[in-house]
Each structure stands twice: as C-alpha cells, then as structure tokens.
Structure 1
Amino acid sequence: MKVWRERLDQTTYWAIVIMSAILTWTFSSRNNPHYVLLLGVRR
C-alpha cells in the first residue's frame, strides 16, 4: 500500500510542476499562443 501511495504522490507532484510551467509560459507574454494551455490540459 505504501508503494502505491508514493507512486501516486510522485505522479501528482509532476503534474503540478508541468501545469505550473505551462501556465507560466502561456501567460508570460501576449505573443505566446494560448491554445498551448488546452494542449497541456489534454495530456
């Protein structure tokens, strides 16, 4: 049970890091295409 929980925590951690990076990059400039946000959510 502990191994499953650690794996879930690691997956959640990486999901938060990747979504934070996508959000930061998407809204950092008006020239960045905002459809990237939709592609990031889809994955």
Structure 2
Amino acid sequence: MSKVHENKNKQGISLLVELMRSRYLRVGIAFFSHTHGLIK
C-alpha cells in the first residue's frame, strides 16, 4: 500500500517538474525574444 503511494507521489512530482520546466522554458524563450527585439 505505502509502496504504491510512494510510486504515485514520485510520478506526480516528476510530472510537476516536467510542467514547470516546459513553462519556464517557454517564459525564457518569450523573454529572450522580447529583449532581443528591444536590442534590435
């Protein structure tokens, strides 16, 4: 029982990390292109 719960927790955490990573990546790209446009 606890083993299954631990597995689900790990899955949820990795999913959250994946979501945050992609979100930060998108924000970073948008910010980079924005600053690049300002410089140009």
**When the two structures are superposed, what TM-score results if normalisation uses the length of structure 1?**
0.65
Identity of aligned residues (%): 6
Unaligned segments of structure 1, at least 5 residues: 33-43
CA RMSD of aligned residues (A): 1.8
Of 6, 9, 22, 2:11 maps to 6
Give the C-alpha shift of residue 31 in structure 1. 7.3
Unaligned segments of structure 2, at least 5 residues: 1-5
Count matched residues: 32
- Tell me which protein shows more helix as a share of its residues: 2
Structure of higher CA gyration radius: 2
Higher relative contact order (CA 8 A, sep 6+): 1
